[in-house]
Amino acid sequence: MTKLTLSALKKELKQFEQKELILLIAELYKLNDDVKHYVSNRFIGEEAILALYETTKKKINNEFFPERGFGKMRLKEAKSAISNFKKLSGDHEKTVDLMLYYVELGTQFTNTYGDIDGPFYDSMISMYGKVTEACNQDEALFNKFNDRLYAVVEETVGIGWGYHDCLFDCYYSIEWTMEA
């Protein structure tokens, strides 16, 4: 299948009249949920971003603690939801919040059901590392999430696979922790 390049697309769109562009965007809107979220975020703003945030949070929670049954713990699905939120909203703070929420739920899952496996903890450590990197670059972000960041470290005491040690090291690598 031959794909249209971005420059060729722009050239084609310049030839459209306004009514044709409106029709094309409306058709795209109907076709794809990602486009719906993106367009909604663009025109409605914070209200749409908040709705997408809540939906994403529910998807992440559902992988660990669904309303019925046991969590499937499909980490790829949860991480994909976070990535999708970031792409559609462009909201850095809420993205970092969702990343931390992912680690909080993973830790809660372990404390509820027992030890998991190395790849699970590697995923949690990697995500926590991204959160601490973001907080290290932005003191306001650190101040907003500090209590939750520290609480996760505390919740991991006694969990195997070096999980606690890695989170502890990540937390104390944030320069602002020396001042807190």
Which tens digits make up the pLDDT trace of 123-150? Answer: 999 999 999 999 999 999 999 999 999 9
Structure tokens at 40: 């909604």
pLDDT recorded at residue 36: 81
- Mean pLDDT throughout 13-27? 89
Please tell me the distance from the alpha carbon of residue 117 to that of residue 50, in angstroms, as a whole number: 34
- Residue owning tokens 């249209």: 4
Please tell me the distance from the alpha carbon of residue 149 to that of residue 128, in angstroms, as a whole number: 8
The answer to whether the pTM exceeds 0.75 is: yes
Query: Does residue 178 surpass a pLDDT of 70?
Result: no
Which of 5-9, 14-18, 145-149, 159-163 has the highest average model confidence (pLDDT)?
Answer: 145-149
pLDDT recorded at residue 140: 96
Per-residue DSSP letters for 71-110? ----HHHHHHHHHHHHHHH--HHHHHHHHHHHHHHHHHHH
CA 116 to chain centre: 22
pLDDT of 50-109, one tens digit each?
A: 999 999 999 999 999 999 998 899 999 999 999 999 988 889 999 999 999 999 999 999
Among 18, 20, 116, 28, residue whose Cα is nearest residue 75: 116
